[in-house]
Structure formats: structure tokens, C-alpha cells
Amino acid sequence: MSTHVFKPDLPPPTLSVGVLGWLRANLFSNGFNTALTVLAVYLIWLMVPPVIQWAVLDANWSGTTREDCTADGACWVFIQNRLQQFMYGFYPLSQRWRVDLTVLAAVLGAVPIFVRAMPRRWIYAIGYLLVYPWLAFWLLHGGLGLQIVETSQWGGLMLTLVIAVVGIAGAMPLGILLALGRRSHMPAIRVICVTFIEFWRGVPLITVLFMSSVMLPLFLPEQISIDKLLRALIAVTLFEAAYIAEVVRGGLQAIPKGQYEAAGALGLGYWRMMGLVILPQALKLVIPGIVNTFIALFKDTSLVIIIGLFDLFNSIHQATVDPAWLGFATEGYVFAAAVYWIFCFGMSRYSMRLERRLHTGHKR
Amino acid sequence: MQKPVTGPSVRGSMLTDPKIRAWAFQILAVATVVAVGWYLFHNTQSNLAQRGITSGFAFLNNPAGFGILQSLIDYTEGDTYGRVFLVGLLNTLLVSVLGIIIATIIGFVVGVSRLSPNWLISRLAALYIEIFRNIPPLLQIFFWYFAVLRAMPPPRDSHALGEALFLNIRGLYLPAPAAADGFWAFLVALAIAVAGCVAVARWARQRREATGQRFPVLITCLALLVALPVLAALVAGSPFTWSVPTLTGFNFRGGWVVIPELVAITLALSIYTAAFIAEIVRSGIQAVSHGQTEAARSLGLRPGPILRLVIIPQAMRVIIPPLTSQYLNLVKNSSLAAAIGYPDLVALFAGTVLNQTGQAIETIAITMSVYLAISLSISLLMNWYNKRIALVER
Amino acid sequence: MTDNAKNHTLGDKLMIELQGVNKWYGEFHVLKDINLSVRQGERIVLCGPSGSGKSTTIRCINRLEEHQQGRIVVDDVELTSDLKHIEAIRREVGMVFQHFNLFPHLTVLQNCTLAPMWVRNMPKREAEEVAMHYLERVRIPEQAAKYPGQLSGGQQQRVAIARALCMKPKIMLFDEPTSALDPEMVKEVLDTMIQLAESGMTMLCVTHEMGFARTVADRVIFMDRGEIIEQAPPEEFFSNPKNERTKTFLGQILNH
């Protein structure tokens, strides 16, 4: 019996590893690939230097009026000058701390939910979801010792966040009910839910906003007049609920039949079965889908410009047509794009990470 | 699809009969819906009566009395609201069709580039996707409209491409063809060429199946499509006279003018939707397992046939359903045109007509029904298609 | 069957020749100086622990993997990056995969006629006749109109074998053809492979089915860490392994 002596591992030929190997494999593997590389480099050269030149090198960074924008590049003075308005709209200067506090409370309050080591995370989360909205409303709107700030004064990024967050929070419960209804065995319930869902999913949000602004007053008794913002919020909530319902339905379908049977075998009734067994699992599965719906909603909030609300986008748009700052539309839109992009990109990364984690969780 | 197993059917309670409970619950639900509906209807009736608005669709026959920026059919201020509806609908469809075509082209190119073995190309494609899908489409429309097109020079200082294409603050000016002497001969030649292509393709396929011999169909067809019309033009004379836009005074005359609103919305929606289509194409191609390519290669198939016979047919099954829903999104997003004053259905009907007539319920209902009809018919088509192409499994 | 399978004479012609083949995945040295000659009609079984390079070796033979050093000559054609040579070799070399890799959107018959029609330019009718002939040989002609998704794993793998045979290859490569199958289906696939061996096909099989190796193989090759450690006729290989690693491996695989 002999023992085999293994040959030593040799380093690969230099052309296949290291920087050279990487370049050869990824950029110059054949003629066509090399041509593509040249094309790509040309495209980058065409786009990147002028953008940097405009946005950084030739830009104006400091000053107070448009006369300070003397260089050829971007006039960031304009953004600096109006930043407060982009963030808070016409919210009274002396009261803006309340907006900051609302955001701070939201963030600090939410932190424990994401700490996986915390005991009774779910109970805390539910408590937070029940208490925070009231706190936020009180802080933003006022009353009980705080000066009242009418919603017509709300604006900027703050209003965008209000619409997006209220929209998604209001749409969740309704959406879950609709999803359950769509999977119900009772035909009348199913028909009602399917009609509702397909109706909202079939029409553009802009028509829904139009409807809320002109038809809602007609639908209600004349003594009731509702706030413009509230009308938009109702429209957004109903609209989003239909999308949430479809996302949740996907989660419900992914729960194996055995789970329903096991819950039934334990003698749980419909609502307990759903509330204690099925929904907790299904909702966990659909968190990425809900985040994606939220991203879409966040982008869609910009449509409230149609009904004359001053969200982040409309604030910026109005500033670009302000005679004092005419001609800086590009700067304004680039800034707006950057803000939306940071939010949406951040959330989409988060949703992708969640998805990957859920995926591995299933494999185990 | 699994049937939902719901509570009452598995519960064995003696006190409440699940069937009766279900009936009661459904009756209650229907009653609530009816009651809410009636309440809203009643309020609306009294509100309308108080404001002195008569409901109904009779207003569609009244003259509109306003001009429209762009119309695909003949329209004058004296035409009816009904015709305004038609103009708006056609304008919406125009943006949608243009957007869908351009978005599909960009989307497929970017999606395939995303999978390119070339690192730079793939990164550039990723950059495109990540930038454009995370910026609200309305913002993109405004950017193109207000920051780019509204900042164009006046007609006299137009950006020109050659002597035929001009871009200025009033829009994009293109040369317009008009039928000339050779037009009919040209058309007939083109029709013959197309018919010839179909015939050649069929004949080539039959011959390949019968004898195994190949025939260069693509090149033959291209040759036919070019040669026949050119020949017709040489014999019968030029098929078109081109009306080239020319600067006279302060504006251009002649040619086609594409209004900046249309350019902005088409550009923005195509670029935005293309980012989503690119992701769909990427995941569709990636859904075809690598083993499929390896099996095809090990059989000796070349890259062309592998793509055509193995990868594309499988990838398309994955791509088409989400692709259609992106098309639907684009149609719905075309309503954003209203925000920059492009005369689409929403801007004309839910905007101007509503303001002029006060017929809120009718105009909004008509507008929504159009979108609903488009959405539902495409969904039905999609369901039918999905059933047809579903892979047969055990 | 067993006697039949072993009684054959090998041709003198070298069908496959690997000389000093080296391959790396990035920094990882997967194939180390592989030398191997296969004569016409020879049946070879490659075995070894996972990650030992056996699959990589046979995947280099039809260029599904690229080797970086050494020479690979198949049927007198050397494998280089020349596409003509690669295509010529792939036409003569059939391959069967662990996960079948049938085309799910085509029927069994279409799976079998695709390559003859598009690579060998065979008329459709002839391609279908050839396909039916091989489907009969693997004993599933009645499934010709079905889609792969409607068949069992064993049936799918037999279709995959028929599909490769339709190109009338001179060499067949098998990459763990039975390891994705349920136990009760292994036999039907092995029987098909034994039958193929009887017809005088040159075969290289990566497999852990030692019964198959005993019955059919002319030579069993043991690989570990990218090297060929031992090769011998099956009687000698199983009864009297010369190498300690081989013995350990056989102990693990036979006594469980």
C-alpha cells in the first residue's frame, strides 16, 4: 500500500488572475468586449466631466441672492437660501422645533423595534403604533397648550413624509382586511373585495386625487367641509390599500395549507386563526413587498401638486418659478431628485436585504 | 391555486351553524355597501340640486369653445365636448404607444447590458436602473419640460441637426412627408416586398424541414424590402415630397412639429419605465438556468440558435406578465401629462371640461372608466396568455 | 448482460487525450497535471470525493470549462479557443447532466430533434425518425409528445440520453447521471447506460455507482484534490487498491 504524495498547489498563470487577469476577463476578453469597453469609456467621458464641472467645480456655494451666482456652474446658493422652506413649507418659524421633535420621536421610538435582542418586541411595536400617531398629530397640529398650525401651512419634505406615512399606515389595516376578504369562501365578500381592489388598481392616482378634491365634497352632507390635506390622505389611503391588499394576498398564498389545518385542528376560530397563526407569518413574508409599495407611494406623493398641496416637490417647483430666482430650475430639480433618490434607494436596499434574510430563513 | 381553508368550515361548534353565520355575514356586508352607496348618492343628489347642476351626459353634445394644443383629429373650438373626449383619448394613446415602444427598446438594451460579461457596461446599466427608477416620474417630466425644453433657445437660434431637424422652445421640428407621384407605386412595391418576405420565410422553413438545407432569409428579406421600393421610386418617380421646416420671420413653417409637452412626457416616461423593464428583462434571462445553455452548447448548437431556440422562448414566459403590468403603469402614468399641460384625457376632461361644465361626477367617471377598461381588458388578455404558455408540469 | 458488457475489444485509436492539463478557478488549483488517454470503445468510470475535479475534467473535454495549460485532443482535433474546433468536437461528444437539463418548453420529441435539425441540418422527418429510434432504445417512445415536466426523473434522464444519442456522437460523457434521482429510478437509467456500453460506445462516466463500474468499466479512475491518484481495471481497483486514499474512499462509499 502506498501513500499518495499530492502535488503542491501552483499559482495560476499570471494572465488569469490579479489586476491583469481581472481586466482581461471583464473588459478585454475578446474583440467585441474590447469594443464595448471603449464605448463605455467614451460614454463616461462624455457624461461625467461636464456634470462634475457644472455641479462642483464651477458651482457657486455661498451667498444670499441670485447676484452671488456669478460662475457658469450650478447655483447652490438658491438651494441653501430656500432649504428651510423645502423642509418645512410655511410652518411658522418659531414652531419648527415641533416638526423636528416629531421626527426625532418617530426615530427614537422605532429603534427598539429593530433591536432583535429586545424582549416583547411585538408588544412594544403595537403599543408604538397605537400611541405615536396621536402624539405626532398633537405635535404637528397643536392644541392642548400648543399653538394651532393649520394644515394649509404644512409643506415641504415634512408634508411629503406625512402623506406617505399616513397613507401607508392607513392602508395597512384596510389592505389586510381586503386581502382576507379576497381569499374568503363567502362569494359576496369576495366580489365586494375584488371589485374594490381592481377598481383602485385600474385607475391612475391622479384621477383619484381629482376625484377626492371635487367629488368628495359632493358625497358628504353639505355642512361637513373637509380639509384639503385630509381629502388627499383619504384618496391616497384608499388607493394604497388596494396595492397593499395584493401584496398581503401574496403572503397569504405562500403560507402552506398545513398551517391552516393545524390551526383549525387546535379549534381556533377564523379571526383567532388569522390573527394568531396565519397573519403573523404572512406579514413577515410580505415586509419587502410592503416596503416596495411604500417606495412607490413615496414617489407618488409628488402628485399632490395637482391639487395644490405644497409637498417637497411642489415647494421646490414653486421656488424655481419665483421671479427672484428664475433660471435655476435645473438646480431645483436636481436637488429634489437627490432627496427622493436617497429615500427611495435607501429603502429599496433595505427591502432587498430583508428579502435575502427571509430567503435564507426559509432554506434553513 | 390552493383553496382557502377558513374558520367556520373546520369549526365544530354546535351553537352556531357556520352556513347560517356565513349567510348572515354576507347579507350584512352587502347591506352595508348598499347603505353607504345610497348615503353617498343621496348626499350627492341634494348637493347637486342645491348648486343647480343637472346631472347626465347631455353636456357631451354642447360646444366646448376652447382650443386644444395638439389634436390627432380635426378639432375646432366649436366642436362638442364629446369630440374633446376623443381628442384627449387619442392624445393619451399617442403618449402611451410612443412611450411603450421607446421604453421597450431602452429597457431591453439596458437589461441585456446589465448581464454583459463586460464589467463597465454592466455597471453603467446598473447605474441607469438605480438612478431612474428611484426618482418620481413627475419630477422627471418636470425636469425635461421646465429645465431642458423650456430653456431651449427661441426659433431663430434653434439647435439644428443638418438642415432638417430643429429643436427650440416651441418644440421639435421634423421634415414631414407628403404623397407625391410615385407614392402609390412605392406603397404597392412595399406591400409586395412584405408579402414576398412572408412567402420566402415560409418556403425556407418548409425546405429546411424537408431537406435540411438552409436559406439566408434575413438577408433576402432586407434586400427585398430595400430593393423593391427603391426600384418603384426610380420607375414611377419620388414617392414623397418632403416638407422641410424653414425659418420665416420668428417661427418655422412647414414640417411636423412635436410640441415640447409631448417630447417631455414621452422622454420621461420612457426613461423611467425602461429602468423597470430592464430589471424585468434581467431577471427573466437569469431565470433560465445555466444548465439550459450548457445542455444546448454540449449538443453543438451555436450561440445564435441557443439564444433563439432555448433562452428567449423560456425567458419570455417569465418576462411577459410583469412587462405587461409595466405597460399598464405607463398608460396610467401618462395621466401625469396633465401637470405640464399636455392635452391628454385627464387634462382635457377631468381638467378643462370639468371646470367649464361643473359636471364633476360625469367627467371623472368617464375618465376613470377609460383607464379601468384599458386595465381590465389587458389583465384579461394576460390571464388568457399565461394559461396558454404555462409550462406543462406533472 | 454482465458478460456481454465486458466482452469486447478496444480499438487502437485514441479518442481522447489529455496531456498535462492544468486549470484554476481564480486562485484555486482545480486540475493538476492531468494525463489521460481513452481508446475507442473504452469505458471509463471516474470517482472520488466531491470537489476532486472529476466533473471539471469531463467538462473540459467538451469545453464547457476552459483549461489553462496542457493539451486536450478529442478525435484528432485539438481544443483551443478556435470556435470551429469547439463546435466540431461538441458535435461528436454527447453529454448527460446530473440535473437532466431538458428544455422544458419543448416536447420530448422536439428536445431530441432540435440539435440534429439545427446542427446537422437534418430534414425534419429524418430527425424525427432518428429521435423515435433512440427513444425506443431508451424504452420511452410512448412519451414522445409529452413535455419534460410531465415525466419522472428517471424518464427525464433517459430522454436526456436519447437526446444526446440523436447527434450520433462518438463519445458520451456522463456527469453523475443518477445522483439527482430517487433510488427506485436509478436502475432504469443504469440499465440504459449498460445497454449503451454494450453497443461499443466510448464512455466517460462520473458516478458513485460502484456496481455499474464493476459491470461495465474497462478502467476505474480515482481522483482527489485535482489529481489522478490511481487507475486500474475494476477487478483490481476494488479488490486490491494500491493507494491508501483509494482504500479509505472505497471504505466510505461501499460500507454505508
For chain B, what is the largest distance between any 2 Cα atoms, rounded to a whole number of angstroms? 92
Contacts of C33 in chain A (CB under 8 A): 7
Radius of gyration of chain C (CA): 18
| Residue environment code for C57-90, b if the CB has 16+ CB neighbours within 10 A, otherwise e | bbbbbbbbbebeebebbbbeeebeeeeeebebbb
B159-161, strands of its sheet edge to edge: B159-161, B165-168, B171-174, B256-258
Contacts of C122 in chain B (CB under 8 A): 212
In order of A228, A272, A304, B143, C232, the CA distances from A312 in angstroms are: 17, 42, 10, 15, 78
Averaged pLDDT for residues C88-92: 92
Spell out the residues 6+ positions from residue C243 whose beta carbon is closer than 8 angstroms to its own: A1, A2, A3, A4, C222, C229, C230
B361 and A215: CB-CB below 8 Å? yes
Contacts of A210 in chain B (CB under 8 A): 346, 350-351, 354, 364, 367
Contacts of A19 in chain C (CB under 8 A): none
Contact partners of C by the rule of 3+ C-beta pairs under 8 A?
A: A, B
CB C54 within 8 A of CB C208: no
Q: Which CATH superfamily is domain A157-217+226-358 in?
A: MetI-like (1.10.3720.10)
Mutation for testing the A interface, residue in B135, B150, B326, B367 having most A CBs under 10 Å: B135
C-alpha B192/C-alpha B200 separation (Å) is 12
Q: Is C49 at the interface with chain A, CB within 8 A?
A: no
Q: Kindly give the pairing relationship between strand B251-253 and strand B165-168.
A: unpaired
Q: Could you tell me which chain B residue has the CA closest to the CA of C175?
A: B295
- Cell of residue C95, nine digits: 453529454
Catalogue the E-assigned strands of chain C.
14-25, 28-39, 43-47, 69-74, 77-78, 93-96, 171-175, 202-206, 219-224, 227-232
C101 and B291: CB-CB below 8 Å? yes
CB B246 within 8 A of CB B210: no
C68 and A17: CB-CB below 8 Å? no
Contacts of B291 in chain C (CB under 8 A): 97, 99, 101
For residue B126, what are the β-bridge partners? none
| B214 vs C114, C121, C125: nearest CB | C121
Q: Is C62 at the interface with chain B, CB within 8 A?
A: yes
Report pLDDT for C170: 94
CB C127 within 8 A of CB C109: no
Question: What is the number of H-type helices and E-type strands within chain B?
Answer: 14, 8
Q: Could you tell me which chain B residue has the CA closest to the CA of C89?
A: B300
Q: Rounded to the nearest 10 degrees, how much is the dihedral formed by the CA atoms of C198, C203, C205, C209?
A: 10
Spell out the residues 6+ positions from residue B358 whose beta carbon is closer than 8 angstroms to its own: B51, B53
A204 and B371: CB-CB below 8 Å? yes
The DSSP element (H or E) to which B127 belongs, if any, is helix B119-133
C-alpha C126/C-alpha B352 separation (Å) is 68
B139 and A40: CB-CB below 8 Å? no
Mean pLDDT of chain A, nearest integer: 87
DSSP conformation class of C87: H
- Window 113-132 of C, Cβ < 8 Å to B: 114-115, 117-126
C-alpha A219/C-alpha A199 separation (Å) is 18
A13 and C69: CB-CB below 8 Å? yes
Please write the tens of the pLDDT for every residue from B269-295.
999 999 999 999 999 999 999 999 999
Report pLDDT for B392: 67
- DSSP alpha helices (H): ranges in B288-311? 290-298, 303-305
C-alpha B95/C-alpha B173 separation (Å) is 18
- Cell of residue A2, nine digits: 502506498
Query: By percentage, how much of chain C surpasses pLDDT 70?
Result: 96
B135 and A267: CB-CB below 8 Å? no
- Is the per-residue pLDDT at C79 higher than 60? yes
C101 and B289: CB-CB below 8 Å? yes
- Is the per-residue pLDDT at B9 higher than 60? no
Under DSSP, is residue B379 helix (H, G, I), strand (E, B) or coil? Answer: helix
Q: Is A2 at the interface with chain C, CB within 8 A?
A: yes
In order of A333, A334, A346, B324, the CA distances from B276 in angstroms are: 22, 21, 17, 12
CB C47 within 8 A of CB C221: yes
Min Cα distance A36 → chain B (Å) is: 7
C-alpha C149/C-alpha C105 separation (Å) is 9
- Is the per-residue pLDDT at C241 higher than 60? yes
Name the residue ranges covered by the structural domains of chain C.
14-102+170-254
Q: Is B45 at the interface with chain A, CB within 8 A?
A: no
For residue C4, which amino acid is it?
N
| C227 vs A3, A6, A13: nearest CB | A6
Q: Could you tell me which chain A residue has the CA closest to the CA of B367?
A: A207
CB A61 within 8 A of CB A76: yes
Count chain B–chain C contacts defined by CB atoms under 8 A.
Answer: 88
Min Cα distance B156 → chain A (Å) is: 20
Q: Could you tell me which chain B residue has the CA closest to the CA of C88?
A: B300
Averaged pLDDT for residues A290-302: 93
- Is the per-residue pLDDT at B199 higher than 90? yes
C244 and A17: CB-CB below 8 Å? no
Min Cα distance C30 → chain A (Å) is: 9
Q: Kindly give the pairing relationship between strand B251-253 and strand B246-248.
A: antiparallel
Contacts of C101 in chain B (CB under 8 A): 289, 291-292, 294-295
| Coarse DSSP helix, strand, coil percentages of chain C, rounded to the nearest 5 percent | 40, 25, 35
A4 and C245: CB-CB below 8 Å? yes
C-alpha C153/C-alpha B290 separation (Å) is 19
CB B233 within 8 A of CB B186: yes
Concatenating the DSSP letter of every residue in B4-19 gives P--HHHH---SSS-HH
CB B236 within 8 A of CB B185: yes
Q: Do you know the residue count of chain B?
A: 394
Mean pLDDT of chain C, nearest integer: 90
Determine which of A249-258, B250-259, C118-127 has the lowest per-residue pLDDT on average. B250-259
Please write the tens of the pLDDT for every residue from A196-235.
999 999 999 999 998 888 888 888 887 777 888 999 999 9
Under DSSP, is residue C157 helix (H, G, I), strand (E, B) or coil? Answer: helix
Contacts of A16 in chain C (CB under 8 A): 24, 68
Min Cα distance B225 → chain C (Å) is: 27
Contact partners of A by the rule of 3+ C-beta pairs under 8 A?
A: B, C
CB C150 within 8 A of CB C142: no
Min Cα distance B363 → chain A (Å) is: 10
Q: Rounded to the nearest 10 degrees, how much is the dihedral formed by the CA atoms of C207, C212, C214, C217?
A: -70
Report pLDDT for C97: 95
Q: Kindly give the pairing relationship between strand B240-243 and strand C93-96.
A: unpaired
Contacts of A35 in chain B (CB under 8 A): none
Please write the tens of the pLDDT for every residue from B138-175.
999 999 999 889 888 888 888 888 778 888 888 888 88
Contacts of B213 in chain C (CB under 8 A): 121
| Residue C226, number of CB atoms within 10 A of its CB | 25
B364 and A27: CB-CB below 8 Å? no
Count chain A–chain B contacts defined by CB atoms under 8 A.
Answer: 195
Determine which of A2-11, A315-324, A345-354 has the lowest per-residue pLDDT on average. A2-11
Min Cα distance C250 → chain A (Å) is: 14
Report pLDDT for B7: 45
| C68 vs A7, A9, A16: nearest CB | A16
Mean pLDDT of chain B, nearest integer: 88
Highest-confidence range of A11-15, A182-186, A215-219, C165-169, by mean pLDDT?
C165-169
Averaged pLDDT for residues A320-346: 91
Radius of gyration of chain A (CA): 27
Spell out the residues 6+ positions from residue B77 whose beta carbon is closer than 8 angstroms to its own: B63, B64, B65, B66, B67
Min Cα distance C47 → chain B (Å) is: 22
Contacts of C224 in chain A (CB under 8 A): 4, 6
For residue B8, which amino acid is it?
P
- Is the per-residue pLDDT at C3 higher than 50? no
Please write the tens of the pLDDT for every residue from C106-132.
999 999 999 999 999 999 999 999 999
Mutation for testing the C interface, residue in B215, B292, B298, B319 having most C CBs under 10 Å: B298
Give the CATH class of C14-102+170-254: alpha beta
C-alpha C137/C-alpha C147 separation (Å) is 19
CB B173 within 8 A of CB B165: yes
- Is the per-residue pLDDT at B6 higher than 60? no
Report pLDDT for C146: 94
Q: Is B143 at the interface with chain A, CB within 8 A?
A: yes
Q: Could you tell me which chain C residue has the CA closest to the CA of B294?
A: C64
B208 and C95: CB-CB below 8 Å? no
Min Cα distance A279 → chain C (Å) is: 33
Name the residue ranges covered by the structural domains of chain A.
157-217+226-358
Owner of C-alpha cell 435655476: A328
DSSP conformation class of B57: S
Exposed, middle or buried: residue B161 (CB in 10 Å: 0-12, 13-18, 19+)? exposed
B165: region left, alpha or beta (phi > 0 left; psi from -120 to 50 alpha): beta
- Cell of residue A78, nine digits: 438658491
Under DSSP, is residue B258 helix (H, G, I), strand (E, B) or coil? Answer: strand
The DSSP element (H or E) to which B84 belongs, if any, is helix B81-114
Contacts of B376 in chain A (CB under 8 A): 198, 202
Residue that wins the pLDDT comparison between C8 and A270: A270
Averaged pLDDT for residues A298-306: 93
| CA atoms within a 13 Å half-sphere pointing along the CA-CB vector of C33 | 6
- Window 360-379 of B, Cβ < 8 Å to A: 360-361, 364, 367-368, 371-372, 374-376, 379
Three-state secondary structure string covering chain A: CECCCCCCCCCCCHHHCHHHHHHHHHCCCCHHHHHHHHHHHHHHHHHHHHHHHHHHHCCECCCCCHHHCCCCCCEHHHHHHHHHHHHHCCCCHHHHHHHHHHHHHHHHHHHHHHCCCCCCHHHHHHHHHHHHHHHHHHHHHCECCECCCCHHHCCHHHHHHHHHHHHHHHHHHHHHHHHHHHCCCCHHHHHHHHHHHHHHHHCCHHHHHHHHHHCHHHHCCCCCCCCHHHHHHHHHHHHHHHHHHHHHHHHHHHCCHHHHHHHHHCCCCHHHHHHHHHHHHHHHHHHHHHHHHHHHHHHHHHHHHHHCCCEHHHHHHHHHCCHHHCCCHHHHHHHHHHHHHHHHHHHHHHHHHHHHHHHHHHHC
- Phi and psi, residue B256, nearest 5°: -95, 140
Please write the tens of the pLDDT for every residue from C178-193.
999 998 899 999 999 9
| A207 vs B30, B119, B371: nearest CB | B371
